[in-house]
Structure 1
Amino acid sequence: MTLSYSHAHKEGSGTTEVVAVLIAITDHSARVLTVDQGKLLPNGPLMPLHRSLQAGVRQWVEEQTQQPLGYLEQLYTFVDTNRRNIEGHALVYVSYLGLVQESETVHQQSQALWRDWYDYFPWENHLDGAPEMIGTLIVPALLDWASQADDDATMQRRQQRIRLCWGAGAMPDDTATERYDDYGWAAEHTLLRYEMLYEAGLIPEAPDYQPSKLPANWSQLIGTPMYYDHRRVIATAISRLRAKIEYQPLIFGLMPEVFTLSQLQQSIEALSGVRLHKQNFRRLLDTQNLVKPTGESSSAQRGRPAKLYRFCHDIELQSLLMDSKLPKRK
């Protein structure tokens, strides 16, 4: 069976599927576990033998990837109107977010594949500043889409959404410099940005996608597409994680038992897609009492060995950065 980006449900009368977005931080890179050569997330139909939704998720993940599961939370439930079962009912996705340590078993015993999540969302990686493609390709294409609205009110609403999702500089009258910059960029709006690209027909998953009307290199720049609505599910997970690391200690589930402060900062940067101010970040950690030194140091090959830390699991942790925002580097 050949899959497409908008495909009918395989033979059967089921209407519910469970989908897992498993995230790991490896070598300071935010990665997502995929199957079918990176085109799908671990997934499967909810069966009568599953005593719960979470039991269904765990079974399909184990069968398809052999990846051990740790922290798991329900992410989002939505209807995929482009997929229907043999009775004509639309498919319901129940998605889950899992934070794991990348396992070698995945590569040795399954067809699963870990992928950098910026392969799917290159415009979300601002670690080296705003990607050039935002100002030169994406925003102009979105403004063109806005100008094609049926009436002025719709056009203005679209323009407002572009400004909200893509930050100052997304509109011509906002531009303080000649090129787009990061001013006003809200990292947690990943899902809003993806859905806007979908609505405008600028990604292959969209039913109105017409690559012949876009620049020749568009498909190489807009990120790796996925079957069904699975890239949207990842976008939902990224938005959830980026919002929650501001006030909950979810980073715990992605870090090894001991780590350096630089490793911790680089891991949070990988998730948020933006650089943090080093001194302010460490000052923030000190005031929250979230980490404690182990009394040991890393065996650095060059330079001074860095102190090793672990999280303070013996205190009541209500947040990673209580009443604070990540100290982003200007």
Structure 2
Amino acid sequence: MRIGLSAVVMTLKDRRAVVLTTQTEDGVRALPFGPFDPARDRTFERALRDFVTDQTGFRLGFVEQLYTFGDAGRASPRAAPGPDQMREVSVGYLALTSEAAAPPAHDAQWTPVFDIFPWEDRRCGRSTLQGSVIGALLSWAGADERRLGRARALFALTPDHRWNEERVLERYELLYEARLVAEAWRDARQTPHDVPPLPGAVMGSDHRRILATGLGRLRSKLKYRPVLFDLTPESFTLSELQAAAEAVSGLTLHKQNFRRAVERAGLVEPTGRMSSATGGRPAELFRFKGLDPETGAAPGLSLPAQR
């Protein structure tokens, strides 16, 4: 068995959540990925940092381990190259940065997250795409109550179910099981028939699954840790902060409720400066107050209901 390391590196660019990707030999996007060599690498994290820099020219800041991916039958863990064809498992990591500088490596780029998971963007309500996702899922489920129940719960198909933005991986796994994403056909070495795969950029190996885990983790952490400020510049307007939260959560947030939530949490303080970049009236600039010096902690932000 061989161990590989995958990095979900996320930031914000032009008010969109983006992820750092490279290009595979097949021409599809992939997460930065590399093997762990126990004879050379002292720790997983050190190995991760080194190969991400080697592949993309980008140096990681905040990093936390996500999950170990080891299911057989998926493109990852794939058989490692060479005559032994060892099974390969992947340890995924989430990394955040506030700078979307162009990666120096020629095949590395920032890819919009909702280009990969378009059904996760609910900011415009139920779109034509989401309608096609629902139609395809219901067709697949048929009269199977178990399938119908999962589809209803994960995609909030009835008034009894509320959309839970954190369940990114479960939604992707359901679409994979229903063979509504291209990776399901690729892993089965079959050509799609009947219903074509849904829109959404295909990723190499099992990297869309790993990215789904990272996006779900980040959305969850928004509510109990101040991770949003790991993605924002040092100073920002409250409108920019709300746009950042919406870009990650995929939700349209109520403006006044969001501002009240920020005020109650006590996470930001005014800088005494104004921004004229809004194109209208100058807006007050704020900054993150930082962690509590006594506890070393700070709360997250609640996400008010959609308008």
TM-score (norm 1): 0.83
State yes or no: 1:319 paired with 2:299: yes
- Write the distance in 1 (CA, Å) between the matches of 2:210 and 2:94: 10
Q: 1:95 to 1:35 in 2, by over 3 A?
A: same
Cα distance in structure 2, aligned partners of 1:278 and 1:266: 10
AA matched with 1:34: T
C-alpha deviation, 1:103, in angstroms: 4.5
Alignment of structure 1 residues 119-198 onto 2, 5 Å: 119-135=115-131, 137-147=132-142, 155-169=144-158, 184-198=162-176
**Which amino acid in 1 is paired with 2:150?**
R
Counterpart in the other structure of 2:209: 232
Pair 259,240 (structure 1): closer, same or farther in 2 beyond 3 Å: same
Maintained 8 Å contact 2:167/2:216: yes
Of the candidates 288, 295, 305, which is equivalent to residue 282 of structure 2? 305
CA displacement 1:10-59 (0-9 Å, x = unmatched): xxxx5110000000111110000000165211001101211000011101
Kindly provide the CA deviation profile for residues 165-194 of structure 1, in whole angstroms up to 9, marking residues without a partner as x: 10034xxxx69xxxxxxx721111111010
1:94 is aligned to 2:91 = yes
Structure 1 130/301 Cα, relative in aligned 2: closer, same or farther at 3 Å?
A: closer
- 2:7 matched to which residue of 1? 20
Residue 190 of structure 2 is aligned to residue 200 of structure 1: no
Equivalent residue, structure 2, for 1:282? 259
Contact 1:32 1:114 in 2 (8 A): yes
1:240-255 equivalence runs, <5 A: 240-255=217-232
SS in 2 for 1:212: coil
Q: TM-score, normalised by structure 2?
A: 0.89
How many Å separate the matches in 2 of 1:65 and 1:102? 14
Deviation of 1:69 after TM superposition, in Å, equals: 1.2
Q: Is the alpha carbon distance of 1:302 and 1:140 closer, same or farther for their aligned partners in structure 2, counting shifts above 3 Å?
A: closer
Give the CA RMSD over aligned residues: 2.0
Deviations 1:144-183 (A, max 9, x none): 22238xxxxxx221111111110034xxxx69xxxxxxx7
The equivalent residue for 1:116 is 112
Q: Write the deviation string for residues 190-239 of structure 1: whole angstroms up to 9, x where unpaired.
A: 1101000111111111145653311xxx45x5201111100111111111
Unmatched runs of 5 consecutive residues or more in structure 1: 1-13, 149-154, 176-182
Percent identity between the two aligned chains: 41
Corresponding residue SS for 2:183: coil
- Ranges of 4+ aligned residues in structure 1 off by more than 4 Å: none
1: distance between equivalents of 2:298 and 2:88?
Answer: 37
Equivalent residue for 2:249?
272
The 3-state SS of whatever aligns with 2:30 is coil
